[in-house]
Structure 1
Amino acid sequence: MAAPQPSSRSESRRGGVLVKIREFDPKTVFSWQLLKTLAMGQGLAALICGTAVSSQFLASHFHVNTPMMQSFLIYSLLCVTYTTMLFCRTGDDNILEILKRRWWKYLLLGLVDVEANYTVVKAYQYTTLTSVQLLDCFVIPVLMVLSWWILKTRYRVVHYVAVCICLFGVGAMVGADLLAGRDQGSASNVLLGDGLVLLSASLYAVSNVSQEYTVKNLSRVEFLGMVGLFGTIISTAQMVVLEHYEISTIKWSWQVGLLLAAYTLSMYALYSFMPMMMKVSSATSVNLSLLTADLFSLFCGIFLFQYNFSGLYVISLIVILIGFIAFNVVPTPANPSDNSSTSSSTSISEDGCYDNPVATENAFTQMELSVKIPAEVKEEEDLKERKMSASRSCRSLGGNKSDGELTEQSTKL
């Protein structure tokens, strides 16, 4: 048989694409799970916007530049709530048992998380806002590499395309900032500032991958409780060494207290709800949704700080959301060597949580149909074959019997 010509192959491919387009059902893409994930991601972005606006008010109106003290307030609140929960638990989930088994891991994780928050704030003293916005996106490729290496997440082409779309949206946002004249910040040592941003992005990636692993395999309370405990210890020591003079010069007022409370509660809510989204999606998906946080801050700044509006901001928001949706539509299998994982195009963690459940429902429906229909057809064929074999055996055993008797006997068999 002659091999098909290249033209016939291309025509068959085009025909397959047309069939897929005709069979496309928007309900399978824009599912309730996707909408819920999108809403959770934008809620987290709104919380980051709250922290940015409150920090800017503290710095510009009240000259409060104490990132370590603000981090101390966050970790202390996490420690009071979630670490206390671990004290109240019994058995292997008690804080003493956790500290015996993996205290050094959480010590390193707390150090990484504290320094990630500190270095990105410190970078604003040496480089511009544009550099921070662009280089901060370095967290996404680092996250994808760490997820591939540690969590065994396998990405498809559509995921890389979706990430590029989101980064294009960030580029549009930075372009709008330049057109609006918002290239703020110091340029005293751009090389040092850019290096701090890249370091912060790498530390955030390590922290987020560790967070995703912990909440999917252990528990959210354990992660927040241990990070709150060690984060409080580390931030206290660092605050005393680095910011004792800045804290002593703060002119306290009810406005300063209110802004600090708003910042602390926003970050506390962010830390509390982010593991919930990571449990139903992934760290990469969460960080893609957080790209819109700067846009929310800009929209608030138009009313609060008289920023100039640009239509590119709206375009940037739409492009980032399109990339986020495209990333979450297709599931990310975590272990392609596992046949069950490959067949369902999704991975199941130890506590039964899927890496990307937005498309899991549709994948399982297709898998169920592909298994159920052949099974039913095979069952019917086996039943017919048993009846025919029974009829043949009856005829061979009772040749002098009538057809009615043979039929009755075969039916009994």
Structure 2
Amino acid sequence: MAGKEGGYVGRSRVVMEDGGGSGGGDGRGGGSMKKTIMWFRERMTLVAVILGQMVAFLNASTAISSTELVKRGINAPTSQSFLNYALLAIVYGSVVLLRKKGLRAKWYYYILLALVDVEANFLVVKAYQYTSMTSVMLLLCWSIPSVIILTWLFLKTRYGFIQFFGVAVCIGGLVVIVFSDVHGGGDRTRGPNPLKGDLIVVAGATLYAVSNVSEEFLVKNVDRIEVMAMLGVFGAIVGACQIAILERQELKSIKWTVGAVMPFIGFSLALFLFYSLVPILLKISGSTMLNLSLLTADAWSVLIRIFVYHQKVDWMYFLAFFMVSSGIIIFSWASREKIAAPDGQNSLQLSERDEEDGQRNTNTYAPRFATPKT
């Protein structure tokens, strides 16, 4: 490792000297390069925060649409997501066809990704039949520790003790929500079977984590447009098969009034925009940042439940949201400290990973798309 680290430090020093134009012993060139890198990272952080809030708002919008459909007695979770996959296939698939180039990744990878993604959407939308919108939104936070475990195992991302502590605080908030749902007494706004709904959400959030980490890998190493197109094509195929088996009778029994059609369309459009923005965010900041950003959708769900549906929210929801928010702040602060370390080991490891990523994308896949997730 000493030789490897020394090699990277040597190459970084050469770049600093060239970029600084003078590279003298005072290190002014290196300082200028460091300031440029930090300025760029701050701008990318700002972009990531804005994109994260847009994604969170879209996620809350899909929750509103699902709740409206449940109120009308419509139970067709796969059908709700089908139009989204069809739109992805049409829009991004057209771009892929116009390029007239072959796929950069094996087709069966996209089939596996689509299968996991369709089932994740199925489970989460299904959960609205049994538990409240607030519980669904908060319990989706389970995807964060799942993503951290998967990125640590498969993408070799390393996290510090303080980051793990932040995640533990988030999980504590989830436990409070489940406790509130199970011991909520006669409050029917929690749904007919809160515990069953909560378990379904946790299963769906785990599949979301698998999907997000897989997407992150493909987006960073293949092509955002191709990933979206293939996810749409195979997602539509898997969804159509599942609809034919599980939801055919349900669709026949639905009275297609304006009140039933509008939530369907609203859900599909919000989900399509969500899927279009997620790959961009994944490429900028990764799947952990994506899932942390989605936690702000919980605040929207609580506000919507209070002011739109005029429902009473148990005080434990506010305690849980405080715990989850505190965990996010702890995790984000620890991540910022790790990135901002100017001369320590963390900075060296970051430079090493950046250079390895750059070499991999330059030598294996070309061209690499600019980042303004999926």
Counterpart-to-counterpart distance in 2, 1:140 and 1:258:
32
Q: How many residues align?
A: 315
Instruction: Give runs of aligned pairs for residues 5-404 of structure 1, distance below 5 A.
Output: 31-60=42-71, 62-90=72-100, 94=101, 97-98=102-103, 102-125=106-129, 136-168=140-172, 181=187, 184-187=190-193, 190=195, 196-308=200-312, 312=319, 315=322, 318-319=325-326, 322-323=329-330, 325-331=332-338, 342=349, 344=351, 347-348=354-355, 349=357, 350-351=360-361
Amino acid at match of 2:255: K
TM-score if structure 1 supplies the norm length? 0.66
Secondary structure of the residue that 2:109 maps to in structure 1? helix
Contact 2:168 2:327 in 1 (8 A): no
Q: Which has the higher contact order (CA 8 A, sep 6+)?
A: 2
Counterpart-to-counterpart distance in 1, 2:78 and 2:189:
25
Secondary structure of the residue that 1:109 maps to in structure 2? helix
Counterpart-to-counterpart distance in 2, 1:136 and 1:314:
12
Counterpart-to-counterpart distance in 2, 1:221 and 1:138:
28
Contact 1:34 1:328 in 2 (8 A): no
Contact 2:121 2:204 in 1 (8 A): yes
Relative to 1, partners in 2 of residues 1:265 and 1:169: Cα closer, same or farther, differing over 3 Å?
A: same
Q: CA deviation at 1:295?
A: 2.2
Counterpart-to-counterpart distance in 2, 1:68 and 1:324:
34
Q: CA deviation at 1:272?
A: 0.4
Contact 1:72 1:232 in 2 (8 A): yes
1:260-319 Cα shifts (integer Å, max 9, x gaps): 221111101110001111111110111112122122112112121002365658745753
Relative to 1, partners in 2 of residues 1:226 and 1:258: Cα closer, same or farther, differing over 3 Å?
A: same
Q: Could you tell which deviates more after superposition, 318-327 or 127-136?
A: 127-136
Relative to 1, partners in 2 of residues 1:205 and 1:288: Cα closer, same or farther, differing over 3 Å?
A: same
Amino acid at match of 1:34: T
Q: Could you tell which deviates more after superposition, 310-319 or 152-161?
A: 310-319
Relative to 1, partners in 2 of residues 1:32 and 1:230: Cα closer, same or farther, differing over 3 Å?
A: same
1:216-247 Cα shifts (integer Å, max 9, x gaps): 11111111111000000000111111111111
Gaps of 5+ in 2: 1-37, 363-370
Q: CA deviation at 1:114?
A: 0.5
TM-score if structure 2 supplies the norm length? 0.72
Q: CA deviation at 1:341?
A: 5.2
Contact 2:66 2:125 in 1 (8 A): no
Relative to 1, partners in 2 of residues 1:231 and 1:327: Cα closer, same or farther, differing over 3 Å?
A: farther
Amino acid at match of 2:70: A
Q: CA deviation at 1:46?
A: 0.8
Gaps of 5+ in 1: 1-26, 358-413
Identity of aligned residues (%): 37
Amino acid at match of 2:265: A
Amino acid at match of 1:75: Y
Amino acid at match of 1:254: V
Q: CA deviation at 1:142?
A: 2.1
Counterpart-to-counterpart distance in 1, 2:197 and 2:309:
25
